[in-house]
Structures are given as C-alpha cells and as structure tokens.
Chains A and B, each alone.
Chain A
Amino acid sequence: QLVSALHRLTRHVVYRGLVRAEDILALFPENFHQNLKNLLTKIILENISAWRNEAQASQISLPRLVDMDWRVDIKTSSDSISRMAVPTCLLQLKVQEDVALCGSSPVVSALTVELSKETLDTMLEGLGRIRDQLSAVANK
C-alpha cells in the first residue's frame, strides 16, 4: 500500500509538472509528519527532471532512430560493366520499434540504403527544409 501510494504521488507530480517545493508540499494532508513531508519533497524535487525525461523517452511513439552509420564506396566494376568509377554512398539506419510495445527487450531493425550523388542532394534539400522550419519555430 505504501509503495503504491508513493508511486501515485510521484506520477501525479510528474503529470502536473510541479517543480516548486510549495506546490509539492501542498499535496500532503494537514496533519502529515513535518520532517517526513520535507524529506519526501526534497527527494522528489531531486528526481523530477530524471522522471520527466523518462516519461518523454517511454511515451508511445512511432519507431525511433537509434543509430546511423555510413560509408562512401567507389564502384569499380560489375558483371555488366568492366570499368567504372562511380562513387556511391551506403547508409545504415538502426530503428527501434515502438518502445511501449516491446517492453524490456526492444526490437531493432536495420535499414540499409544506397544513395547516389543526386539522391543524396535530394535528401539534403529535404533535411535543409526541416532545419529551416525548426529555426522558424524556435524563433517564435
């Protein structure tokens, strides 16, 4: 019962986004033991940002990017062409499926994609637009 009550208290604090000692102290009933109240409030305040980050990280979401590796190769020959010098880019994205669904053993899938110079430029253009939008939103 004690653990359950503490759990509910901390979840409530994170949910409401309470950050000031006064707000947390106000949650306790009138005749609550003074020192215990202060101690609990202090502990909660210390952990609040870690718990909040935890809540953000484990919320429902679409698959998340966890890692990205790349490599630039030059294709020198193939069964249809004996000599060439075509630069090409290999990109591997590691994506973790929905954290909430996987629980403690998350499933990570790898997506390997080849990009030529043209397609890479297209990607960059798209990403540049995201970056511009981000700055526009940040400045508001």
Chain B
Amino acid sequence: AANKINLIPQDFFAELCEQIIQHLNHKIPGVNTAELCQRIQTSGIELNVGDLSKIANIVSFLFSTAARNHLSTEELITTLSDAVSTLPKHAVQVIRHVWNEQGKSISESEDARNTATVGQFVDLKWKLGVAMSSDACRSLKYPYVMVALTVADPSGQITEKSFEMTIPQFKNLFRQFKEMAAVLETV
C-alpha cells in the first residue's frame, strides 16, 4: 500500500490526512473515502476505493499511535522514515505539516465517543415513492419508503447503505424507534 501512496497527488493526500486528523479530533464523524476516491479518479488517476481505504487506515493508525505516545513532529517523522523508507517526499511533508498543526490536539479526550466498536450513525435520507407499473403488472400502485443510511464504520470511514421497505414495515420501524427512544429516556 505504501507504493500506492505514490499515485496520490499531494493536495489529495493532504485532504485525506486533514480528514483523518479531524475525525480523530471528533470534529467530523468520519472520513469520506468513497467521495475522495471518486474525485481522485475523475482527475485521471487509477486508484480504487479499497486501496484508498487501506491507506486511510494506515495513516489513521499512524496518527492515533503517535498521539497515544505523545510524539513530537520530529519523533514522528524519524519513526516513520525508519519504518517506511519508500514513502514519497511530498507525503512525508504533508504528514509533518498536518501533525504540526493539529497533532497535539488529539488529546486523550475523556469522551464516550472513543469507544466505537460498531458503526456510528451519521445521517438518514429518505424518499417516499409509488411504483406505478412493472413488466409483470401494468397497474401496480405499490407505495414504498426508500432510506439511505450514512454510517461511519469503526475504522472511521463513511459508507452509505440504501434499502427499501413496504409501508407496514416502515410503520413497524417507526414504532420500534419510538420504543428505543423511550427506553433510552428512562435508563
């Protein structure tokens, strides 16, 4: 994966590192690797989401380990160069800059959010539709609810999952959520 870092132009790599550090600082819910990858691909570079995710994970691990060990910028760069000699110079520069600016603020914040072991909910988008007709049924008139759930997975990367449900399913879902909220209130 270190070789793939060569493919990423400096400004995109800087953006990735920025997002990672902001996520570690709890300023943003996660790193939007899919969206960033799409922009990288549009600019003509052949990089797939899987590789970008791996790179994001590595950098995230690098920063969080450095934070835990209270490394200064120089210590971080030295450790990095000792471990990975094939990193391109511009990547090292970006890491040095980002760590200098924001590395110190990844404190061991007394925060319940640090305990993420499953995906974290980020956003819910919805759409109500009626399927009018299909190849099997000319006059279908079948109502449904479409939901797109944005989730930050445990590694901090943002994914979106879409699914549809029938109206009775939706009503059941709503009821269950109200129950959950009620329990959360009383606990």
Q: Which residues of A contact B164 (CB under 8 A)?
A: 61-65
Given contacts A17-B139, A70-B180, A95-B161, are A122 and B124 in contact (CB under 8 A)?
A: yes
B138's partner among A16, A75, A88, A134 (CB-CB below 8 A) is: A16
User: Could you say which residues of chain A place their CB within 8 Å of the CB of B14?
Assistant: none
Q: Are B165 and A65 in contact (CB under 8 A)?
A: yes
Instruction: Pick out which of these stretches binds chain B: A20-28, A29-37, A39-47, A108-116.
Output: A108-116
Given contacts A65-B163, A68-B173, contact A17 B138 (CB under 8 A): yes
- A80 to B144 alpha-carbon distance, docked (Å): 44
Number of interface residues of A (CB under 8 A): 54
Interface size class for chain B? 35 or more
Say yes or no: B121 contacts A93, CB within 8 Å: no
The smallest C-beta distance from A69 to any residue of chain B, in angstroms, reads 9
Residues of A90-121 at the interface with B, using a CB-CB cut-off of 8 Å, are 90-91, 93, 95, 111-115, 117, 119-121
Over the window 55-75 of chain A, the binary record of Cβ atoms lying under 8 Å from chain B Cβ atoms (1 yes, 0 no) is 110111111110010101011
Partner of B121, one of A68, A119, A133: A119
A residues in contact (CB < 8 Å) with B: 11, 14-17, 52, 55-56, 58-65, 68, 70, 72, 74-75, 78, 80-81, 84, 86-91, 93, 95, 111-115, 117, 119-124, 126-131, 133-134, 137
Bound together, the chains give a CA A15 to CA B139 distance in angstroms of 7
Query: Which B-chain residue is minimally distant from A60 (CB atoms)?
Result: B134
Instruction: Judge whether A89 and B180 touch: CB under 8 Å.
Output: yes
A115 to chain B, nearest CB (A): 5
- The smallest beta-carbon distance between B121 and chain A, in angstroms, is 5
